[in-house]
Structure 1
Amino acid sequence: MSERKSSRGRKRTLTNNFRHNCDFTVTPDMKQKFDDYGYIIVRGLLDKEELELINQAIASPDGVLKHRYSLDDPEGRPLGRVIWTHPGNDITGVLARSEKVAGTSEQLLGGEVYHYHSKLLLKDAETGGRHMWHQDYGYWYHNGCLRPDMLTVFIPIDRCVKENGCLQILPGSHKYGRIEHVRKGIQEEADLSRVEAIKQQTSLIYVEMDPGDAVFFHCNILHTSGPNNSNLRRWAFLTAYNKATNNPIKKHHHACYTPLIKVSNDAIRKCTVFNDLSGKEFIIPGTNSYIIKPTEEQQ
């Protein structure tokens, strides 16, 4: 994790880094850091063997990459993605149902969660586009989720550094509540005047991570990521969870409450299912209400 001074010249060292081990549990300190700053980083959430299995599944020609599509950022640079609604039976689903991912999310949010959706975000070398400043709840609010009782787990498949467009966040920005967003193309951008004002109160953090690390972040934390101008690919696996008590009030392209059957962490290593994509319900642009045309007010 790297950091820079805020415009007021302050610099803080945020000890939001934790190390995963076989006895990993969410400690009171971890929960407090998540509540205070809106994120925690868990180094080594996936070990080398687990990461290799996930890589094999993603690389399989009959795996989830069959459903890859690309959308452009405001500068016309492509952002590859694969999005699915339910975890399914393959190893990516086992990962999303594991205690160290889903169970940790439950402890951070303080109650039962269900799988809201998972995705791959694919920034290819030298061409990958950027994500504008936004809150995930900027999108999910419009899906009928009444409360921001939601989070995302971001797990790098490749090393994530400044050069290839790593995640950038404003610690503590989740406490400012939901900010108005404006649709720009296919993305939603947070009110930049608010973003700039919040930057005066905190320090921008570049979340640099190695493959298998993870950052758990609250749905209202402001975040962005730059384009990938480097020769380093930047692929990442993300899973979003919603509290069971926050069931959306309308059906939409992501999941309404569906009980999540968690599995032990060793189920990841034991899983040999790479290509069974049944039940995952992939997002297909132009269908299942994912591609939403801007309204007159948003244009």
Structure 2
Amino acid sequence: MKLNTNQLKQYHKDGYVLVRGFCSEAETERMYRVAVQDDAMQKNAMDLNDQSGKKTRLSLWFNPGNDVFGYLTRSEKMVNCVGQLLDSDAPVCHFHSKLMQKEPKVGGAWEWHQDYGYWYKNQFMYPDQLLSVMVALTPANKENGCLQVIKGSHKIGRVNHGFAGEQVGADMVMVDNALKTMDLVYCEIDPGDALFFHPNLLHRSAANLSDAPRWSIISCFNSQSNIAYNETSTAWKKPIEMVPDDAILNWDAAPLSQADFLKKENDPALKQTGWEEDVEVKNKT
């Protein structure tokens, strides 16, 4: 699998591109079953409060292993597509992956932000050599808090970020300006669909007030040529060891307990630097 010319143009123009059916129904079912049943995900999950006090829940790890999610991250189709989009000829590396767990009625919002608003604190030099890929494990729609993006907002460059609850949020003055200038898009996607998006794309998601869960896996990638001067993990500079696409479904998978999960207190993005206090991250409407 590779992205076609129109898909590449859309990513660079809009800051994101959606690939329907990136994973088969059987692949998606296997990943969702592991996500729900493997207790390592729950034991290593971090809760982050949004501005209303609702909790967003995620598990984050660095090195892609021989578990089912490692096979997705390392699959030929994933590495090939990511390599087409990163602004570098250097090998594709994996920064981290995270399982997003937005439970019915209680799953909190993610405030407006750019991924590079977080990763700037890791001191990555080149945002165009980073990107994220979200693969839906359950349906994502307006009712259960699907991803919202501001189309083309990656062209603004990095926006100042401060703290919104326990999360890092973008300066709402610039977010409001972007919403006046560009289109707001609700990314309603089905299980197995993959959304590739630029780290400077402004995005958010509302709380899940529905009766249905919204779970997804997000893998974040980096070019080996893009140095991170404030990152203690080393996955970001290790070329990915690819596996065939059928590994997701057919290979034996290791338990997730072997993954190197991030502890909340060790995340540099959640640490105060001093300048966050000058950034207005609350929506006044």
Post-superposition shift, 1:32?
1.0
Moved more, 169-178 or 95-104: 95-104
Taking the aligned partners of 2:196 and 2:69, their CA distance within structure 1 comes to 17
Post-superposition shift, 1:131?
0.7
Q: Deviations over 1:120-143 (max 9, x none)?
A: 111100111001111000110110
- Please say if 1:64 is aligned against 2:41: yes
Q: Secondary structure at the match of 2:225?
A: helix
Q: Deviations over 1:21-78 (max 9, x none)?
A: xxx3211211111111111001111111111211222122444333223221111101
Taking the aligned partners of 2:170 and 2:133, their CA distance within structure 1 comes to 21
Taking the aligned partners of 1:254 and 1:139, their CA distance within structure 2 comes to 17
- Please say if 1:31 is aligned against 2:8: yes
Structure 1 portions without partners, runs of 5+? 1-23
Is this contact kept in 1: 2:56–2:101, CA < 8 A?
Answer: yes
- Please say if 1:292 is aligned against 2:259: no
- Please say if 1:240 is aligned against 2:220: yes
Post-superposition shift, 1:92?
0.7
Residue 170 of structure 1 corresponds to 150
Structure 2 portions without partners, runs of 5+? 278-285
**For 1:70-81, what aligned pairs fall within 5 Å after superposition?**
70-81=47-58
Residue 19 of structure 1 corresponds to none
Q: Secondary structure at the match of 1:242?
A: strand
Aligned alpha-carbon RMSD (Å): 1.7
Is this contact kept in 1: 2:119–2:269, CA < 8 A?
Answer: no
Is this contact kept in 2: 1:182–1:298, CA < 8 A?
Answer: yes
Taking the aligned partners of 2:172 and 2:96, their CA distance within structure 1 comes to 27
Q: 1:92 aligns with which of 63, 66, 69?
A: 69
Q: 1:131 aligns with which of 106, 110, 120?
A: 110
Post-superposition shift, 1:297?
4.4
TM-score normalized by the length of structure 2: 0.90
> What count of residue pairs does the alignment treat as equivalent?
274
Q: Deviations over 1:203-253 (max 9, x none)?
A: 100000011111000001000110111111111111000111102123335
Going from structure 1 to structure 2, the CA distance change for 1:172 and 1:297 (only over 3 Å counts) comes to closer
Q: Secondary structure at the match of 1:175?
A: helix
Q: 2:140 aligns with which of 126, 139, 160?
A: 160
Going from structure 1 to structure 2, the CA distance change for 1:170 and 1:89 (only over 3 Å counts) comes to same
Going from structure 1 to structure 2, the CA distance change for 1:289 and 1:205 (only over 3 Å counts) comes to closer
Letter in 1 for 2:187: V
Taking the aligned partners of 2:242 and 2:138, their CA distance within structure 1 comes to 26
Residue 20 of structure 2 corresponds to 43
Is this contact kept in 1: 2:221–2:236, CA < 8 A?
Answer: no
Q: Secondary structure at the match of 2:181?
A: coil
Is this contact kept in 2: 1:63–1:274, CA < 8 A?
Answer: no
Residue 122 of structure 2 corresponds to 143
Residue 269 of structure 1 corresponds to 249
Letter in 1 for 2:215: W
Moved more, 55-64 or 240-249: 55-64
Q: How many percent identity over aligned positions?
A: 36
**Which structure has more helix as a fraction of its residues?**
2
Is this contact kept in 1: 2:96–2:220, CA < 8 A?
Answer: yes
Is this contact kept in 1: 2:16–2:197, CA < 8 A?
Answer: yes
TM-score normalized by the length of structure 1: 0.86
Q: Deviations over 1:60-106 (max 9, x none)?
A: 24443332232211111011110001111111101100122222111
Is this contact kept in 2: 1:165–1:227, CA < 8 A?
Answer: yes
Q: Deviations over 1:132-182 (max 9, x none)?
A: 111000110110101102110011111000011000001111111111111
Letter in 1 for 2:216: A
Moved more, 53-62 or 121-130: 53-62
Q: Secondary structure at the match of 1:56?
A: helix
Moved more, 269-278 or 205-214: 269-278
Taking the aligned partners of 2:256 and 2:217, their CA distance within structure 1 comes to 18
Q: 1:185 aligns with which of 159, 165, 181?
A: 165
Q: 2:83 aligns with which of 85, 103, 106?
A: 106
